[in-house]
Structure 1
């Protein structure tokens, strides 16, 4: 399968792209027929390559994956599996995903499709979870596929506090990073706490790859200005891997040569290839766990308008989490909109961290800001909230270190192997445990 994977440039029109998808569809349908879930649900006769018949197939849901935990979706022998993963969440039942070695070639190539490429000259710091989730392993595999040196800086490990991240960024001449956007702000604060300037003392750094949480344009601009490098966004999931990557013009392009995309109207169930609705995906090169018409439940807007980058691929705007919020009276206040206002404050105010809480009648916001800029920052943010959101607000400035304590940025916890024998002056309450 890896030798058959399409490359950007193999097609020059959307008609040719559609033909490529339809040529691949029968193979993934045949593979799905080997899965107990699809075999029982659809029967082999239902899985043809006819586009009309395909669009009549019921969508696969996250609940389907959970109800078939752990291996009810598997379409290959267990001996062919390379990795097993579960997505994050608090539903109680795991959402499993698994991949073959050939699946991993497709996964790694899709993740690496960014306008800022990776090669053997790069050192890539991977600062997302490794345990069970796909995200850390995905970037790691993409880095190695392209010859980069990978630094596995798992952000859920006690062995990698922020002070150590800053040391690694600086001493190892890290050129690329992969993390959630918030991490980049925390690194900047930790760098300053270590006496370093994020925009000047990390000259090897050339781009920050980010994903996994909403990112407003104002926060993106703030992170980019702090570090003096581009912020390159990624969109995907543990169940699917990378689904879209950013071109030089800042637009997210769906990898439609590797994944078939549909847009579903949640109210009517109507399917279209573009417009606003829920994103439904069918990975076209996945052997271990085929997913047919998998509804990610993300609200998106898909467009086939031409992009100056020249990639003949649809673009996507991910609206899902940006639409989630809390009401104050008749107004829906979302984190995305509020974040944009916070990071529109002048750069010299130094606002990196904030938090907010809604009540039935007003919004309360705290921002970390030095005393010298506190009055101006609070007044300007209050004015912006009232003007653009139309809600009453209470803006409070707090000292830096209030929301993100200084010792979180500078601490180096003692991480040791567990033991059971202690001397007379040692704390034996640490027996067995990691500290």
Structure 2
């Protein structure tokens, strides 16, 4: 285990300095003091989202000079917009070490066939570095191209005596199926093969054991991404160990309230301690994971990671929440396991298409009952050989395509993970608001309201931003133009949550500061501010606003009482002291 806390703190301090060399983080962290940054306070720093990376563009989070760059990679998300990743020579060496930590234990005697795609994605290159570091030979048989179709890969494996294959899990399944179609047995006809290394797709234990049965050798999973390199590698005991010298892995609760408990599912936030070229801080990679301490039979301690799939594949049926791993585990529990499958989300459950050359061995009714029991939702089944897998293509010079395992239906409401991102946006906006950067704060509050239109807090903070803008402009015409926007946001916040203190406070401010002819009502504002104080919103500014209300309603004695409360909290508050003089003078008359 890497448990040198001081070394991790040192790396985090170096990362803090390195981050601000990139345009993305120079702006994103401009309101944060990183001089005393410490790992135990990392949650106070903002998240980095895929949208941030896409918006920043290829050079947005590059933190080194171009002469230090060794390689560029990018990955495409559902939007079709790429997320960039840069690597120095040292980054590639580190990535190779990360992948080489898996239980395959590469040696100079190994010949490794790399089936990962070599075009733009990063695993093939990091695996190649891992092989070089171990002294192993490499056969670069890239997937998803016409140069190395499945029959040729099988021929290379047998003819060259390949000892390890590395690639996507799906490629291992398709290679085994191609071997069957060509009259071979993947588990018996490749005697030199001793291990398989996989990455790039969700791989639960049930699926991993299926691939092990297909090939008759152990399968070692690796978890990472193009943006981060390899975060965790599986040992010979099936445990995904986090590369703790290189990463801080947080697991965030779904509701955005903080960190999940050890072993609890949540959303990943990855900080790259070692990456030089394009470092990442609290990268919200849209994965569902759990992390917990482990003392493994392999000799390693530290933390183990379980990957449950991508947020985009999470489905919800009432109170039942299913991640990709839940669906995958159920499908791969079938006997026989299908050669291809697709789960289509319906209103109350799934319609699952199963494609297998052994489909005649299934009972449709029995499969439906089994899957419904495993997933706890209604399942209908369609058994259709050839519907999902063109077996003729496997034997031809046709490149493979990225499969879709779970097809979700369009649903209303916030997307999974939005609560975490919402709280992060509100937190960033509040920091800017508090520091007087009202225009930038408003942009973040607007983004929060777009992310979750039903967030009363987002609308209330947006109203607060409009309130500051109204205070800042001199022209009455400008104030009148901004007033409807303020009123609209307050109305939206109160409609969603009439009890939200911030919304009530903003309504009180509107009633206090708006001219009577435009709907102002200081007497009604008193009730709003008293409500806020009763709900714990007890700072000096609220008491001052209450005092202003009493001044406008000709109650100077109550105004003095409110100002005394304000000054007990902030004795030097200039506004409170000035109002006190006015209230005292008014009380004397």
Residues of 1 paired with 2:373 and 2:107: CA distance?
Answer: 47
Aligned length: 397
Q: CA 1:329 to 1:104, structure 2 compared with 1: closer, same or farther past 3 Å?
A: closer
Structure 2 segments unaligned to the other structure (5+ residues): 400-589
Structure 1 segments unaligned to the other structure (5+ residues): 1-7, 415-435
Residue in 1 that maps onto 2:28: 41
Residues of 1 paired with 2:261 and 2:272: CA distance?
Answer: 15
1:293 equivalenced with 2:282 (yes/no): yes
User: Tell me, what secondary structure is at the counterpart of 2:287?
Assistant: strand
Q: CA 1:34 to 1:406, structure 2 compared with 1: closer, same or farther past 3 Å?
A: closer
1:110 equivalenced with 2:98 (yes/no): yes
Residues of 1 paired with 2:297 and 2:199: CA distance?
Answer: 23
1:340 equivalenced with 2:306 (yes/no): no
Question: For the Cα contact (< 8 Å) 1:331–1:389, is it kept in 2?
Answer: no
Question: For the Cα contact (< 8 Å) 1:280–1:293, is it kept in 2?
Answer: yes
Residues of 2 paired with 1:45 and 1:395: CA distance?
Answer: 53
Select the residue among 307, 312, 317 that pairs with 1:318. 307
Residues of 2 paired with 1:329 and 1:252: CA distance?
Answer: 32
Residue in 2 that maps onto 1:27: 14
Select the residue among 396, 413, 416 that pairs with 1:411. 396
Residues of 1 paired with 2:91 and 2:36: CA distance?
Answer: 21
Report the TM-score, using the length of structure 1 for normalisation: 0.83
Residue in 2 that maps onto 1:306: 295
Residues of 1 paired with 2:285 and 2:337: CA distance?
Answer: 37
Residue in 2 that maps onto 1:206: 194
User: Tell me, what secondary structure is at the counterpart of 1:46?
Assistant: coil
User: Tell me, what secondary structure is at the counterpart of 1:131?
Assistant: coil
User: Tell me, what secondary structure is at the counterpart of 1:29?
Assistant: helix
Q: Displacement, 1:145?
A: 2.2
1:398 equivalenced with 2:384 (yes/no): yes
Instruction: From the two aligned structures, give the one with the greater strand fraction.
Output: 1
Q: CA 1:289 to 1:112, structure 2 compared with 1: closer, same or farther past 3 Å?
A: same
C-alpha distance after superposition, 1:396-429 (max 9, x if no partner): 4334x45322321211369xxxxxxxxxxxxxxx
User: Tell me, what secondary structure is at the counterpart of 1:182?
Assistant: helix
User: Tell me, what secondary structure is at the counterpart of 2:82?
Assistant: coil
Residues of 2 paired with 1:85 and 1:99: CA distance?
Answer: 8
Q: Displacement, 1:109?
A: 0.5
Residues of 2 paired with 1:343 and 1:49: CA distance?
Answer: 49
Report the TM-score, using the length of structure 2 for normalisation: 0.62
Q: CA RMSD in A?
A: 2.7
Select the residue among 195, 213, 229 that pairs with 1:241. 229
Q: Which has the higher contact order (CA 8 A, sep 6+)?
A: 1
Residue in 1 that maps onto 2:119: 131
1:388 equivalenced with 2:377 (yes/no): no
Residues of 1 paired with 2:67 and 2:31: CA distance?
Answer: 24
Residue in 2 that maps onto 1:270: 258
Residues of 2 paired with 1:92 and 1:319: CA distance?
Answer: 23
Select the residue among 144, 147, 150 that pairs with 1:159. 147
Residue in 1 that maps onto 2:178: 190
Residue in 2 that maps onto 1:424: none
Question: For the Cα contact (< 8 Å) 2:308–2:323, is it kept in 1?
Answer: no
Residue in 1 that maps onto 2:466: none
Residue in 1 that maps onto 2:354: 367
Q: Displacement, 1:49?
A: 4.8
Residues of 2 paired with 1:265 and 1:308: CA distance?
Answer: 30
User: Tell me, what secondary structure is at the counterpart of 1:319?
Assistant: strand
Q: CA 1:407 to 1:175, structure 2 compared with 1: closer, same or farther past 3 Å?
A: same
Residues of 2 paired with 1:334 and 1:182: CA distance?
Answer: 19
User: Tell me, what secondary structure is at the counterpart of 1:171?
Assistant: helix
Residue in 2 that maps onto 1:87: 75
Instruction: From the two aligned structures, give the one with the greater helix fraction.
Output: 2
C-alpha distance after superposition, 1:305-364 (max 9, x if no partner): 433332122111122438834466775565533433333233xx4742233434336643
C-alpha distance after superposition, 1:264-301 (max 9, x if no partner): 23423424784442222221222212222222232211
Q: Displacement, 1:100?
A: 0.7
Q: Displacement, 1:154?
A: 1.6
Q: Displacement, 1:376?
A: 3.8
User: Tell me, what secondary structure is at the counterpart of 2:4?
Assistant: helix
